[in-house]
Structure 1
């Protein structure tokens, strides 16, 4: 059995199924998801061929499971729509609930001075191979599918859709997104719990008022170390102090949260940036226990969760403790960062504060892109795009790994099971300065991040390489140049 086999759909893992009776196990998992509301009426089940491939099973197993569910009346097969959960119209015609009155503006205390966060810099002159992490393959953007969805949206949008809308986001997107997040990430939240934001960056920008409203022990935020430099800078710009907490092979060292003075912790548990590790089950329990015992807030950045290659899916933390976890994600890595579309699912006691802060920031996001994204999610076009992109990114990752073995034989490759970047460390060179190495690489025309950029405390040297945005030939050339630079 391939223990890495798994599907985003309901976070199904083949290694959790019994040796025999795979069909019955699959039926029971879907039945439970319908009963618990994680699969709402009208939610689409994945095509049998796709799910069978993800689980490493024969297609007949899934076909039989869907037949049994149909016999029970739980699902229904519809021409042109596939198999959906019974009880309503097919996805793509979800009725929009009326929007409530916008949340009132709230007074926001002036922020203390802070350094302006580092903006994305243009590629330096002389650099022709950019391996910066965090950039998806923009050439793979589904232009045709987006255009079809946009035409459908414009044909059906009402006059009211073009006005100032619900600061939580358009109800159609929240309805479709809630079902999609339940199905693919295991979230336990309905449409009214979601807030559409302009990416995870905006969630972080709105975090300050939430910390004031939370019942935690303080307003500082514990951050992973190493962890995202951009996230630290964004919080600093808003006057939110941060406390570094070390990361090891199991993720954030949760024991260090006690005594840190932090009232919140910012995590990337599905694929830690930049190490690529997954927060272990024991650490997940420890983080949630800290939140429960202290009243602290866990901010879950679902970074790179949709890009996985050699490991089974991992459910979102929010599913285990919706009262303690603020879950946030975006389409910046799955579609394009220029769309500025994301979501936040706060604990119920912080929902009103988040909506008020969102409204005060910009009155709410643009409606038409929200409706287009809803159409892509409801039609299955977004999931089909993700499957295509995963195949493409896996090939690019494999290219980089092979090139490192050929040109950097002493380097250790880490974080390759998922994501759009990998980490190179150099255990045989204890005195290596990665900032010097990155500067020399830039002089050779290759842009990479030194690991020390993403550290607060000193630690081993490394390079963070993004591979999503470059074709295989360019990736091979970039690693070859790194090999010559390192000597």
Structure 2
């Protein structure tokens, strides 16, 4: 008998929402929400639902209302009641995932690509409550043309959140709302180029295609600065004549290094001496598993650092919500560039996120997701230890990805190709390098994969490594090098 899944513990986790003004009985609304989650596959066969008392307390309704909803779904066959009062999902309309085992061979179609977050866990019910709240209470004038920086409510909510959680020195008047990091970095580099900047430094390796592409389009030269175990090598940065540097100091992408306090101070000192700007990409700071959160650099030098944040890795990239904390001398120019680009980000989305932040829903969502991502991270590390112990993981304490360095007898390209022949997508670190040399490595994004899919993916990779080594040995035999 399979182990029971415990998928949700609150009405919010079940995406239940009730509207007392809708004219539909509350028990029917509750039943419809649960039924929809089962049909969509969010609640799988065997999942235990929370007790009726818990749901009633969360929704502010009588227990009898929830009991009636459960009974209706039992009668329809969606739920089953077991001895001891347990109520479980009785059907599984979603076809089995391709990541489940079908024999001894790992299943195909497993993608360790980075850049996705688990959008199936988007807090729909809480977001809907915020949408309803702002549509009900927002003054009419908020829906007219506004300042290109965005709505004041979100400026205040973000400043309070970032100062509390990320250790920034944010003021509402320095916040500019943008459409994700891509637009944010474009606005910054456009402004810097217009002010006379000529060169921008980026970490090497780095996934900042946005910065490199924009830099080229506005006439900025790009300088790659090598990365060490703890992030950018400051002594190499100090040798450049860059007018700006783009950093991921709290979790270097992709190697996972954390820039030390002394290195941060040196970067800021370098920037202040040169009159340069530090652009801080704080892309996944909310996910920390094995260490305390590392504060943002912006809090050390708000007049030198432009802080970039986004909801893409925490809520969903499709929201296209990003924010900049800009030094006072750059705010007006960045705002003008934003107005030229699109006249401002959607007001309803901004107001919804402001309400979502203010009511603590963002914090609650992050508390729910951290253990989910940690379990997936742990499953990946366990599988690598068991099947590919020679791969050296780095950057494991945070984020949604892990990098493993390859041993000297393995090259990236053959391993990636052999994995692809098994239906496995895994990326090499070399594709993110500006310089042609550097150690070989593999990048594992795990945010959207189940623990079983992760194990199957590593199994497929182990087979790929075996194939590559066997091929290499055969080549050595058939084409011996003369001594």
Matches of 2:434 and 2:174, distance apart in 1: 34
Q: Partner residue of 2:433?
A: 455
The SS at the match of 1:314 is coil
Q: Partner residue of 1:402?
A: 382
Indicate which of 411, 418, 438 corresponds to 1:440: 418
Structure whose alpha-carbon radius of gyration is higher:
2
The SS at the match of 2:442 is strand
How far has the Cα of 1:229 moved from its partner?
4.5
Conservation of the 8 A alpha-carbon contact between 1:187 and 1:318? yes
Deviations 1:314-334 (A, max 9, x none): 111011111110001101000
Indicate which of 478, 482, 485 corresponds to 2:457: 478
How far has the Cα of 1:131 moved from its partner?
1.1
Matches of 1:231 and 1:160, distance apart in 2: 35
Conservation of the 8 A alpha-carbon contact between 1:250 and 1:283? no
Deviations 1:306-365 (A, max 9, x none): 111001111110111111100011010000000000100111111111111111110000
Q: Partner residue of 1:132?
A: 113
How far has the Cα of 1:439 moved from its partner?
2.3
Conservation of the 8 A alpha-carbon contact between 1:302 and 1:328? yes
Matches of 2:328 and 2:355, distance apart in 1: 27
Indicate which of 147, 156, 179 corresponds to 1:166: 147
Bigger drift between 312-321 and 205-214 goes to 205-214
The SS at the match of 1:206 is helix
Structure 1 segments of 4+ aligned residues over 4 angstroms from their partners: none
Matches of 1:435 and 1:297, distance apart in 2: 36
The SS at the match of 2:243 is strand
User: Unaligned 5+ residue runs, structure 1?
Assistant: 1-79, 81-125
Deviations 1:189-222 (A, max 9, x none): 211110001111111111233213557xx42110
Matches of 1:228 and 1:312, distance apart in 2: 25
Residues 306 and 199 (structure 1 numbering): CA distance in 2 closer, same or farther, change over 3 Å?
same
Q: Partner residue of 2:204?
A: 225
Residues 329 and 127 (structure 1 numbering): CA distance in 2 closer, same or farther, change over 3 Å?
farther
Q: Partner residue of 1:26?
A: none
Q: Partner residue of 1:7?
A: none
Conservation of the 8 A alpha-carbon contact between 1:221 and 1:243? yes
- Is it true that 1:156 corresponds to 2:137 in the alignment? yes
Q: Partner residue of 1:385?
A: 365
TM-score, with normalisation over the residues of structure 1? 0.71
Q: Partner residue of 1:361?
A: 341
Query: What does 1:258-337 align with in structure 2 at a 5 Å threshold?
Result: 258-337=238-317
Conservation of the 8 A alpha-carbon contact between 2:186 and 2:211? no
User: Unaligned 5+ residue runs, structure 2?
Assistant: 1-57, 59-106, 467-483
Conservation of the 8 A alpha-carbon contact between 1:300 and 1:325? yes
How far has the Cα of 1:270 moved from its partner?
0.7
Conservation of the 8 A alpha-carbon contact between 1:272 and 1:303? no
Conservation of the 8 A alpha-carbon contact between 2:200 and 2:215? no
The SS at the match of 1:262 is coil
Deviations 1:378-423 (A, max 9, x none): 0001100001100100000000000001111211011100000000
Deviations 1:226-270 (A, max 9, x none): 111523443345333210000001210111123322100000011
TM-score, with normalisation over the residues of structure 2? 0.72
Aligned pair count? 359
How far has the Cα of 1:427 moved from its partner?
2.9
Cα RMSD (Å): 1.7
Q: Partner residue of 2:11?
A: none
Q: Partner residue of 1:204?
A: 185
